[in-house]
Each structure stands twice: as C-alpha cells, then as structure tokens.
Amino acid sequence: MKPPHGARLLDPYLSSQTAEDLLATVDGQPWRSDLKRRVQHYGWSYDYRARTVSPDMRLGPLPDWLAPLAHNIAQISEFDAIPDQVIINEYDPGQGISAHIDCAPCFGPAIASLSLTGGAQMELRNTHTDDRISLRLEPRSLLILSGEARYDWTHAIPARKSDVIKGVRQPRTRRVSLTFRTMKLMNRKS
C-alpha cells in the first residue's frame, strides 16, 4: 500500500556531517525527563495531558542553532509559515510513541519530523477506513505530514526493541527526532 496522500519522506534530508553536528548540539542542551522519554521544547511548550497550547506557554524564539533549519523546512511546499515550535524526542530501544494526530487546533497544516539517529518503523492508520501502512524512518530522513496524512491518519512508533525490515529483524538503537510545527496561536504568515 502506498503512503497516504500528504505523507512525503525526504531521505536523506541532511548530510551525515550536518546530522552529527546537530546531534552534538542537541545532546549539549538540557533534557526534560517528566515523560517516559526525554524531551526538549523550543519556541513553545506543549501540555501532553490536556493536548493544548496556550499563550503563556511561549518559550521565546527558536535558538540560533534551530532557526536556520526551521527556515529551510519552511521552503518545503507543504508549509505556509516558518515553524516556530520544535519538540526533540529521545527514544531508547523499547520506547515508542502512541498513535495520535498532532493537535489540529494547536498546530498548522504541516508537520515535519526529522530523524537524526536510530531508524524506526512508523505505523500509520486511517481513522475512517482502518487502512494501515508502515514507513521506515531512516536516520537523516524528514517525514512531512500534511492534508489527509496530517488530519485523517494517526501515526505511532510501536514500543519494541527491534523492527522487521524486508524479513530481517533489525535491533533498534537510540533514536533522536525533531518535530517542527507552526503554532496557530500566532495567527501570522512568515
């Protein structure tokens, strides 16, 4: 089965050196560990329990080391503004993320997920038809979800220590991903 309309995978999106440099910068920043996985928030924080964002959750502009990447992602046709919110997630082998659709009232029409390290299978499920597909997210790849893929399909990374790729079991390694989104609260074009 083909990926849903609005799902596009750019692989690779970053060079090996750029990914290594970015990972070193990420690892030099403080991690929050109030979830089952470690996270970093930039631009805006996000309330995972309430699945909301409010004006008082603004953290400030993206740091200098993330802003150029956000500007580059804004050049991708699915984006209508420069992403102003980034969540960095760290997944150790055995960790995943539950099936969800990124908060429609909170975030703009496109979401971009950059995998820096550690490939993983992402499972997508259509909320209307229950159709399912898997996408392999390789290190340095960028997944864009917009349109139908953004609003009508959940996405998840099953919590397991390995994935079966083309019949071969591949152990997972530490995965770090950056999710770029635009906040609807800003009501602005960039």
pLDDT reported for residue 50: 77
For residue 79, name the pLDDT band (cuts at 50, 70, 90).
Answer: very high
- Looking at residues 58-79, what average pLDDT do you find? 96
Give the SS3 label for residue 142.
strand
pLDDT in tens, 169-180: 999 999 999 999
pTM greater than the 0.95 cutoff: no
Amino acid occupying residue 59:
L
- Looking at residues 10-22, what average pLDDT do you find? 97
Domains of the chain: 7-186 (2.60.120.1520)
Question: Would you say residue 90 has pLDDT above 80?
Answer: yes
Q: How far apart are the first and last CA of the chain?
A: 36
- Please list, in sequence order, all residues whose beta carbon lies within 8 angstroms of the beta carbon of residue 140, skipping any fewer than 6 positions away: 11, 12, 13, 14, 15, 16, 19, 115, 116
Arithmetic mean of pLDDT over the chain: 93
Residues constituting the chain: 190
